[in-house]
Amino acid sequence: MEVRVMEAWVNTSLGKRGYELKNFIGTGAFGKVYLVKKRQTGILLACKSAKTLQSQKLLKKEAEVLQQIRHPVFPLFEEFIEDSWGCLLLMEYVEGESLAERLEQDVLPTKEALDYAGWLAEGLEYLHQLSEPVLYRDLKPEHVKICYDGKVKLLDMGCACRLSEARFSKAGTRGYAPSEQLAEGQPGVYSDVYAFGKLLSYMLTGENPCLPSSKKAGVLLYKKKISLYLKKLVECCTEEDYRNRIQDMGAVIRNLRKCGGEEAFLYESIIK
């Protein structure tokens, strides 16, 4: 669809429901993303569009997940619009730079990394503890937005799915997603734990796990001035065999609370 025709459809669909198209933001996984304003309140929203049948199906799935969520780490759902032309998903507009942009500048100080890690861990634990548990499945810096107040938001629920359905589809980004999620295996909440550990290692070392030259998280961490306990935590999150991994985000959070403490913690003291 030509850009003008696409924008005309978006503008018409939004206008009928009291929204005003403001600007083009960028291109997402499913299609173009726009900045829109709700006329009644003046609130700015992000609007994701999907035109192809496959992208419409995925965007609808994202909307269904987002509707369930009420947690400060995730953007608020506003509305899902579906017509003969395609689908639109409206949600809270989050300003700020992405964690990917922040990591391009420099390695994060340990305290900053732990602050972000704590908020993300709480958001993931919330998903895992819903009445129908949800796996995020695609944690990476591009999906984390650093807000102007210093807190973070976890965007893009496009790969998220109910835990009960996770084994029927493959999803995620190589370097962050564990083998049981990318190939034939049994994904679980421990799969998000793995991606969390990879992201935490990236924040602490500056080494992108997606690059072919990337070393094992533990090797990189031991070259840094980071507490032994924190190094062990990352190792226990990123075990290749999920049975040896920290099993849930609740245990991750309890371990994170210890990470500012003494370096004398033993490996066995990591809570799994």
Residue 241 DSSP one-character state: S
pLDDT of residue 214: 59
**pLDDT-wise least confident of 11-15, 109-113, 139-143, 178-182:** 11-15
Collapsing DSSP to helix, strand or coil, 2 comes out as coil
Average pLDDT over residues 215-224: 58
Q: Reply yes or no on whether the pLDDT at 239 is more than 50.
A: yes
pLDDT in tens, 17-47: 899 999 998 887 778 899 999 999 999 999 9
Regarding predicted confidence, which is higher, 105 or 214?
105
pLDDT at 209 over 60: yes
- Alpha carbon 235 to its chain centroid, in Å, reads 20
Per-residue pLDDT band for 218 (boundaries 50, 70, 90) equals low
Q: Identify the weakest region by mean pLDDT among 79-93, 129-143, 254-268.
A: 254-268
- Whether the predicted pLDDT of 248 surpasses 80: yes
Give pLDDT, residue 26.
85
CA atoms of 184 and 170, how far apart (whole Å)? 8
Told to judge if 138 belongs to the known catalytic residues of this protein, a careful annotator would answer yes
Residue 8's pLDDT is what?
A: 75
Alpha helices in the chain (DSSP H): 3-15, 53-68, 99-105, 110-128, 179-182, 189-205, 217-221, 228-237, 249-256
Give which of 136, 72, 143, 139 is closest to 101, Cα–Cα.
Answer: 143
Q: How far is CA 69 from CA 78, 125, 177, 225, in A?
A: 12, 12, 23, 37
Asked if the model's pLDDT at residue 201 lies above 70, the reply is yes
Provide the pLDDT confidence category of residue 261 given band limits of 50, 70 and 90. very low
Give the active site residue among 138, 156, 192, 248: 138
Calculate the average pLDDT of the chain. 87
Give the model's pLDDT for residue 222. 58
What is the pTM for the complete model shown?
0.89
The pLDDT value recorded for residue 127 is 98
pLDDT tens column, 152-189? 999 989 899 999 988 888 888 999 999 999 987 889 99
Largest Cα–Cα separation, the chain: 63
Question: Model confidence over 48-71: pLDDT tens digits?
Answer: 998 888 889 889 999 999 999 999
Please name each of the domains of the chain with its CATH number: 3-92 (3.30.200.20), 97-269 (1.10.510.10)
* pLDDT given at position 54: 87
